[in-house]
Amino acid sequence: MSHGHDDGTGSGTGLRPATKVVHSGRDPKRFDGFVNTPVVRGSTVLSATYDDLIHHRGRYSYGRRGNPTTEGFETALRALEGGDGIALTPSGLSACSISLLSVLDAGDHLLMVDTAYRPTRTFCDQVLKRLGVETTYYDPLVGSGIAELIRDNTRAIFLESPGSQSFEMQDVPAITAVARARGITTLIDNTWATPLFFKPHAFGVDISIQAGTKYIGGHADLNLGTISAVGPAWKRVIATHGTLGITISPDDAALGARGLRTLAVRLAHHQRAGLEVAQWLQDRPEVSRVLHPALPTDPGHAIWKRDFTGATGLFSLILKEVPERAVAAFFDALALFGMGYSWGGYESLAIPFDCRDYRTATVWDVEGPGVRLHIGLEDVADLKADLDQAFARMRAAA
């Protein structure tokens, strides 16, 4: 876990993000010229002398507390996030849960955005509730009106922008300004944008969370969570992370670092391809509307354009009303789009969704079935053709 160590290999603030992801956290001179940090597998770390042992003078103390592989990856992530330190976890959900446990105690009150990743809601409704923390869900569009929901015991506000599946954009600086004035910790799930396209700490967020499983990994072969934090929040995060004994394997850290090196070029393709498919879908007779904040017609476009520097390949669409058998025919006809509950990898994915079962502060009232798409690295013309033939099967089954 990174304690703010800077190895001097390109994490300087003068470098642009695409350069940082290539050069930060690498130190070939330290490893006999090897470009990539070696995968170090080990638990025990020996001290040279008794004095070194009892005063913890070594760079590393125990495998769970970090090694050269995890440290290099953390340093690169910290250069991208701009926080005081990075903690690595085994999944995006564990990054969310550890972050919340870090800043909440029994008797505290949490404000959680109603459009959060559903497993994060489950953690709040089950584990936090059992621990004596009360959660209130709020409308993602509340902005500075969040002040009216704050109680004397409100200790944290959790954001996710854009919202999971439904892609509402939050006014992050308006919410963090209210929170900072009240001494309330803010957290955000920034998996969709990554720090390449949105930098939470620059907008006043204390804890920035990513499911590194998605775009950082980029190859559908890794489960990973990352936590970046600043100030007092970082001290609480790293203390909780260490006390809980959270660690990831050096192999997973190496996969995360490898994915990070190509993040900028992959996101550039995801952005271009995603927008092209989204614009094409807007004109389809089967589609009622497309939920993508980078589209000028999207309700959240103004906030996206103000705060974000790019968009990624994940978005949703609302179909015109059709029977479920037609929706099933659409999905079963897809050849290039896989059906799977993830995204961020090189492959395109599609799932149906319906937010009515679990939203509580907002009403999910839409005109037809919801479909979430992740646009991967395939040729866009082939993806359009696949969607086109699936729409034909849907029409035939309607």
Q: Cβ(232)–Cβ(192) under 8 Å?
A: no
Angle value at C-alpha 186, between 131 and 95, nearest 5 degrees: 60
H runs (alpha helix) in the chain: 17-23, 50-54, 68-81, 92-103, 118-123, 129-130, 172-182, 194-197, 231-243, 250-261, 263-282, 301-307, 324-333, 380-397
Distance CA 185, CA 225 (A): 20
Rounded-to-integer distance, Cα 328 and Cα 311, Å: 29
Q: How far apart are CA 52 and CA 50, in angstroms?
A: 5
Tell me the residue type at 28: P
Tokens of 74: 């953390």
Active-site option among 30, 60, 64, 320: 64
Q: Of residues 189, 206, 252, 307, which has the active-site annotation?
A: 189
Q: Among this protein's residues, is 30 annotated catalytic? A: no
Cβ neighbours around 361 below 10 Å, total: 16
How far apart (Å, rounded) are the C-alpha atoms in residues 99 and 102? 5
Catalytic residue among 78, 199, 214, 261: 214
- Residue 225 per-residue DSSP state: E
In the numeric block, the tokens 């070939």 are attached to 28
Which residues neighbour 162 within 8 Å (Cβ) at sequence distance 6 or greater? Answer: 115, 168, 169, 170, 192, 293, 300, 304
Active site residue 189: yes
Q: Is 117 a catalytic residue?
A: yes
Tokens of 60: 């590393």
Active site annotation includes 151: no
> In degrees rounded to 5, what are phi and psi of residue 243?
-65, -35
Q: Which residues is 372 bridged to in the sheet? A: 316, 351
- Token digits of residue 341: 């509950």
Q: Per-residue DSSP letters for 316-383?
A: EEEEPS--HHHHHHHHHH-SSSB--S--SSSS-EEEEE-GGGT--SS----SS-EEEEE--SS-HHHH
Q: Which residues are catalytic?
A: 64, 117, 189, 214
